[in-house]
Structure 1
Amino acid sequence: MYDFAPDPTLSRAELHAELHAAADAITSGEPDGIANMANVAALIWQFMPDLNWAGFYRTIGNELVLGPFCGKPACIRIAWGKGVCGTAAALGATQLVEDVHAFPGHIACDAQSRSELVVPIMRDGAVIAVIDLDSPLPARFNGEDAAGIERLAALLSTRI
């Protein structure tokens, strides 16, 4: 049994370090990528406050397909270059969006979402998935969150 209990008094940097350590522990040695994504989505949900969606979209062909997540039901398929997730995948670059309503072509799977952080997971120079975090708060995410989730994506690049 796993029992990860994040300390709510941690700084963002410390919280991301603990999240990374928990993700490393729970995915180490597990060869099933779907199981690893499911557990990491649950960890993100547990560790990061003020989220209304946390999970993965996997690259299949020329689109992103919904993977394991926590939150309300979501869009199943997203074309590369469309919305925040598709833009992150097409550019191979993190997208930190303070106000999703100001993002051209934003795909609203949940009307409650106000800000979003999407980080591509790369393997051998190709985007294999993205980590998508949504919040009902505007400007919920900052550079520390982006750096922490980028570090998590690097860890997961060989585990999903």
Structure 2
Amino acid sequence: FWSDHGYFLGEKGLWYKRKAFERSARMPLIIAAPGLRQGKHTSKPVELLDLYPTLADLCGLKPPANLEGQSLRPLLTDPAGKDWTKPAVTQVWHNKKSWGYSIRNERYRYTEWLEGKAGRELYDHSTDPNEVTNLADIPQHAKTVAELSTQLKPFVRLKPHKR
């Protein structure tokens, strides 16, 4: 079972979708299949593009090599995900000119608008799950911002000026 993410209904003063906040990007995902333990939960972020490779894997099929997603079977068998390091990436469009790309790992969400030229956001979900305090411009978080920005770059494909 999976669902679409919802609309903002006044949270953060917003009333629609297309935002790179957790409340807009996160959605429920429940997977049940023969041989999987029931009632387990993981805090690791995943993406919907991981569903096709997961379903193929659970059916014993080899997914096409050109898929960007990867099977969630490792998380289904070990919800602690000791070896799962894949982040979740969100792409959003805003005001007909700003593209936002967000990368989410287990601890942080980092977002760049227009590749950082129109702003950056960093939220620490271990201390700020509601994404209230933007840490991107605080000097002690510069290393984290640099690391996440580097991780995000391969996912930034469609540039606003090429639309």
- In the superposition, the TM-score normalised over structure 2's length comes to 0.24
Q: Which has the larger radius of gyration?
A: 2
The structure with the largest strand share of the pair is 1
The structure with the largest helix share of the pair is 1
